[in-house]
Amino acid sequence: MLSRNLCTALRRLRITPARFCTSVAAPDQGNSGCDPLYAGIRATQFVTKPALITPEDYAPIPVYRVIDSDGNVLDSTQEPNLSKETLQKCFRDMVTVNALDKIMYESQRQGRISFYMTNFGEEASHIGSASALSSEDLVWAQYREAGVLLWRGWTLSQFIDQLYGNCDDEGRGKQMPCHYGSKKLNFVTISSTLATQIPQAVGSAYVLKRKPDNDRVVVVYFGDGAASEGDFHAALNFAATLECPVIFFVRNNGYAISTPVREQYRGDGIASRGTGYGMAVLRVDGTDMLAVHNGTKMAREYCLKNNKPIILESMQYRLSHHSTSDDSSAYRPTEELEMWNTTENPINKLKNYMLKKGWFNEDEENEFIKSIRKQIMAQNQLSEKKQKPDWREMFYDVYDDLPLNLRKQLKEMEDHVARHKEQYPLKNFKS
């Protein structure tokens, strides 16, 4: 039996006292009543012969999917039974993101905006997850989640005004293009710095956890490249030990800019790291909108019921260049794109599913695509002509009350511009 002092010490460490003896028996010699008492590991046993555990000893995490490439439901019990109206919104939001990408990418190539990042091939992960979340759930995005904002109600004018950084941009022209944000829609403004949003999301989830009767979760999106940053590991450890209701939504799309996943890690994707931190994990087919929807719904329910984090890994493929600053033809063959752009294309898959249900009208959807393209092009011209924000905006929104040193700088700048106004394109800026 354990001594009274040792039992007391173990209880203070929140360790349940186990059986104790002074001898150790090999596994094939029967149960000797000996259990390790070390803190920080799960219940286990002593052995008398060392045995290496290699990655091959673990079964790979399966990929959950609902439909195949032709839109056939693989297991009828897994069909989410979304209404016709909901599925139509899902499809139309996906093609809207696609159309926005095509037009704004070309606008950047024409020199009309400075930068752009497309979402080709990853639309299902946006809409599938957004449709399963509550609009009150807090989103920390990376930079390839435009569909989440679209689902929540951000308008084409808000997207394109932000890309131009004009006077109607909610960010007042202070962010790079594609760095969206909406307090009203619970979508935290995107930061360029890779992976910083991951630990910040955990902090947000910890705040929610401490609220009585909390019914919200935090979802943080990031790519496989961000999972190679130290912030990712710190965030997982915080979330696991503090037991925070946060979904770590990993877009594993094959590349971190130009670095393929085979050069990033040797483990079983990103989800496998969750078990090492004591977290639940789930892996879904990120080209299957229904699988992403079901997986996100399950992850959200798990977080709220258990007040714990989960890693949701969405397996997909980045069809586009990383950004307009990248040329992916330099590091991957065009043949690699063919399958992902045809049979495994998420928009095609959802269309096939809707066709089999008799809920897809080819003529109506073609008209919708034509209409949305016209709307985007018209808004593009309108947003481009708008004035830039008042240049004084650069001094605001960091401090609630402008400190003395910034007030002095602002006054100096105003005096300078007044003296040399012919040297500045003031007519292009709102005043």
Candidates 106, 263, 336, 364; catalytic one: 106
What is the longest distance spanned by two Cα atoms in the chain?
93
Q: Between the CA of residue 98 and those of 88, 101, 255, 320, what are the distances in Å?
A: 15, 5, 20, 11
Candidates 320, 322, 344, 383; catalytic one: 322
The strand ranges marked E within 136-195 are 138-140, 187-188
Q: What is the CA radius of gyration of the chain?
A: 26
Q: Which two tokens stand for residue 407?
A: 């007030």
Could you give the CA distance from residue 82 to residue 291 in angstroms, rounded to a whole number?
12
321 catalytic per annotation? no
Q: Which two tokens stand for residue 243?
A: 């037991």
Candidates 32, 69, 228, 323; catalytic one: 323
325 catalytic per annotation? no
Which residues, in sequence order, are CB contacts of 423 under 8 Å at separation 6+? none
CA count, 13 A, side-chain hemisphere, 318 = 27
Which residues, in sequence order, are CB contacts of 417 under 8 Å at separation 6+? 391, 424, 426
Could you give the CA distance from residue 424 to residue 15 in angstroms, rounded to a whole number?
69
Q: Looking at the DSSP assignment, which residues form a beta bridge with residue 249?
A: 221, 312
Q: What is the DSSP string of 286-336?
A: TT-HHHHHHHHHHHHHHHHHH---EEEEEE----S-SSTT--GGGTS-THH
Candidates 192, 325, 329, 371; catalytic one: 192
Give phi and psi for 246, each to the nearest 5. -130, 135
329 catalytic per annotation? no
Residue with structure tokens 């050069």?
263
323 catalytic per annotation? yes
Sheet of 246-252: strand order equals 187-188, 138-140, 218-223, 246-252, 310-315, 280-285
Could you give the CA distance from residue 282 to residue 377 in angstroms, rounded to a whole number?
39
Could you give the CA distance from residue 344 to residue 289 in angstroms, rounded to a whole number?
12
Pairing of strands 280-285, 310-315: parallel
Closest CA to 226 of 270, 278, 189: 270
* Active-site residue set: 106, 192, 322-323
